[in-house]
Amino acid sequence: MSTSLRNLLLNKAVPFVFSRPAAQPVNRALFRIAAIGMGVSSFDGTQSDERRFLKRIAAQNRNPIVLDVGANSGQYAKLVRGEIPGAEIYSFEPHPVAFARLQATAGALRIHAVNAGVGSAEGTAELHDYEQDPGSEHASLIPGVIEQLHHGMSKSIPVQIITIDSFVAAQAFKHVDLLKVDVEGFELEVLKGARALIEAGSVNAIQLEFNEMSVLSRTFIRDFTQALPGYHLHRLLRNGALLSLADTNILRRELFCYQNLIALKQAS
């Protein structure tokens, strides 16, 4: 197809046909299909995408050090243990109710349970969760997540906050194989607290969840790229493949819906 014909279709024919009200259901369906194909709003209850990525980690190191930030009851730790039996797993959970569940399974999962949240500086912060269902997977350090996005009544409690840099220094780790972060919109603050580790290139891979909570925290994918010098950012696709986010087109990149982001060290 010639350039002139392609431009004619995109600038004339497509708007003429698809901007009509009757075409909007088709537009929404096509948009949904395209988003899923690009790793957006493609949640898979079987976690097949994450399983495939963990196999990649295992292929590089059968005894990796894994930091699981936002562990809740240990759901991700269980996934890691199933795919990488030799992994050394540290799971961080600040909510006392969720941490009690995490502790109850820590022995069977052979994980190190850490009763703390993770952020950009050490101290305390308010953790927001459902008033009638404390210890939920939606608990967040971002105000408004429970009320505005999940339409529930919230209650906040003070929790301890540590940084990844201080934790890694205390453990005297030379490197971390996988840093997994799922903290309901607070992911960028976790990366800020791992700045020394990241700038030294001492973490091999980072997995981040990006979703509508980032609207409330005002975090963009661009912010992650800036917080990860020396790393290449990707979306994790349903089949386990990685889609590069080097593309700076805002329409294709800044989509505030569920997606797993993977940051890998760039080859030196």
Looking only at the bridges linking them, the beta strands covering 176-181 and 65-69 are parallel
pLDDT in tens, 15-62: 778 888 899 999 999 999 999 999 998 777 778 899 999 999 999 999
Nearest one of 155, 214, 215, 173 to 190, comparing CA atoms: 214
Question: Which helix (H) or strand (E) element contains residue 247?
Answer: none
pLDDT, position 200: 95
Hey, what are 207's tokens?
A: 């997995």
Share the mean pLDDT of the chain. Answer: 93
* CB neighbours of residue 145 within 10 Å: 23
- Helix and strand numbers (H, E) in the chain are 12, 11
- Each of the 268 residues of the chain gets a pLDDT tens digit; together they read 567 666 666 677 777 788 888 999 999 999 999 999 999 987 777 788 999 999 999 999 999 999 999 999 999 999 999 999 999 999 999 999 999 999 999 999 999 999 999 999 999 999 999 999 999 999 999 999 999 999 999 999 999 999 999 999 999 999 999 999 999 999 999 999 999 999 999 999 999 999 999 999 999 999 999 999 999 999 999 888 999 998 778 888 999 999 999 999 987 6
DSSP for 193-225, written as a single string: TTHHHHHTT-EEEEEEEESTHHHHHT--HHHHH
CA dihedral (90, 59, 37, 39) in degrees, to 10, reads 20
